[in-house]
Amino acid sequence: MKPIVPLKTEHGLIDQMIKLARDETLKVATKDAFNPVFIDTLVDFLRTYADETHHGKEEDILFRELKEKDLSAEDRQLMEDLVQEHIDAREMVGDLVGAKEQVLDGDREAIETVVRKLAGLIELYPEHIKKEDDIFFPASMNYFSPSEQQAMLEEMHEADRQMIHKKYHSVVEALEDERLGIQP
């Protein structure tokens, strides 16, 4: 079960951020205390850490390997549901960015959209994590030998090692594009 350890550890950090998002959502919803810096930080965390790093390892390593296995219909459906939840989270994050921009452009009614998108993420992640930790990850390990589990663990560690370079390469590239006047 070793490949699960890094994924479960990552779930803990994602859960912490979602709790912070819950607190921020209450501030926005009850006090109209819109904080675009928090939204930017949350979006960066969800896109880079939760999606690219964490979901990336699940989809690009664990799920890829599971597609080669003779999964039960129930396990295959759960894996498809988890992938769809990753897609849903990406869409909510994109919508959150759009709503934040609308608020910054003066559309105060877009705060309601910000609150809805935050609420959607707050609802999605804890249930998603629970499904993975309590049901899917334990069941999925039954399809792998210890050597296959070790190979996935090593691939996950390598993915983590490369992520920091990928993240900051994109930061520098975006700044270069901005300097040259290239629109994203």
Q: Which domains does the chain have, with CATH numbers?
A: 4-180 (1.20.120.520)
Contact 8, 77 (CB under 8 A): no
How many alpha carbons fall within 13 Å on the CB side of residue 154? Answer: 6
pTM here is 0.88
Over residues 14-34, the mean pLDDT reads 91
Instruction: Give tens-digit pLDDT for 122-155.
Output: 999 999 999 999 999 999 999 999 999 999 999 9
Over residues 62-90, the mean pLDDT reads 97
Q: d(Cα 38, Cα 61) in Å, to the nearest integer?
A: 31
Amino acid letter for position 144: F
Q: d(Cα 114, Cα 169) in Å, to the nearest integer?
A: 29
Max distance between CA atoms of the chain, in angstroms, equals 56
In residues, how long is the chain?
184
Over residues 103-132, the mean pLDDT reads 96
